[in-house]
Amino acid sequence: MKELFYFSKSNVMVQVQYSYESNALCYASHRNVTEVERNVIERYIKENVATEAKNPRFVEATIQYTGIDYKLINHLNQFQSVKPFGESDQRFAGDTNPFESLINKDVENSVQDLIHTSMSNYYFEKIGNAILEVRKELRNDAGAEELGVYRHRLEELVAAYNQYSNKPVTIEEVLPKELDV
């Protein structure tokens, strides 16, 4: 069992998963949750997930918070990318395609957000790989010219990352101190 739950009041995405080894319902969130939010989430799990109807094992299972799972941010973004129906958008029972009422602008914005998220993740990983390469070259006693090439490459990656990221960074923030010249 693996289920996603969204708590709109506190804007938190939670994934609940049953662990057979520990007989526990483990849940993770996309961000840190407060003690009050944890109590609400755990009460919801007890009342709606850990029920006899779902699985008799779940009733006896303990509930454990496993911390933050950053993969849930993508699920939250996908969940929030589709705008719920407004009163003027309400569909009738006879309508066959509920997606006809989505406004093209909302779809385009969602696609653009998805592209920006994907590209910022891509360049973030590229920056991390470049830093690892620099450190490897430093262990192999790389020359100043080679390190200059790596610094230039990092500068280009940071510029590309900043085009797509909501939180731009400076080269000084990502530059290993060994290259800080």
User: 7, 6, 3, 12: which is closest to 49 by C-alpha?
Assistant: 3
Q: Is the pLDDT of residue 15 over 90?
A: yes
pLDDT tens digits, 78-90? 777 765 555 444 4
Number of domains observed in the structure of the chain: 2
- Within 13 Å, how many C-alpha atoms sit on residue 158's CB side? 15
Q: What pLDDT band is residue 180 in, cutting at 50, 70 and 90?
A: low
Sign of the torsion angle spanned by Cα atoms 77, 82, 84, 87: positive
Between residues 14 and 58, the one the model is more confident about: 14
Rounded Cα–Cα distance for residues 55 and 87 (Å): 38
Q: Is the pLDDT of residue 92 over 50?
A: no
Task: Say if 157 falls within a structural domain.
Answer: yes
Task: Say if 132 falls within a structural domain.
Answer: yes
* Residue where a domain stops, chosen among 35, 54, 74: 74
162 and 123 inside one domain: yes
pLDDT tens digits, 21-76? 888 899 999 899 999 999 999 999 888 888 777 777 788 888 999 998 888 888 88
| Residue 29 backbone phi and psi in degrees, to 5 | -125, 165
Task: Say if 11 falls within a structural domain.
Answer: yes
Task: Say if 160 falls within a structural domain.
Answer: yes
21 and 59 inside one domain: yes
- Side-by-side strand order, sheet with 62-68: 2-7, 12-19, 24-29, 62-68
114 and 150 inside one domain: yes
- What is the domain range of residue 58? 2-74
Task: Say if 141 falls within a structural domain.
Answer: yes
pLDDT tens digits, 101-148? 555 556 677 778 888 888 988 999 998 888 888 888 888 887 888 888
Task: Say if 68 falls within a structural domain.
Answer: yes
68 and 108 inside one domain: no
Whole-prediction pTM value? 0.45
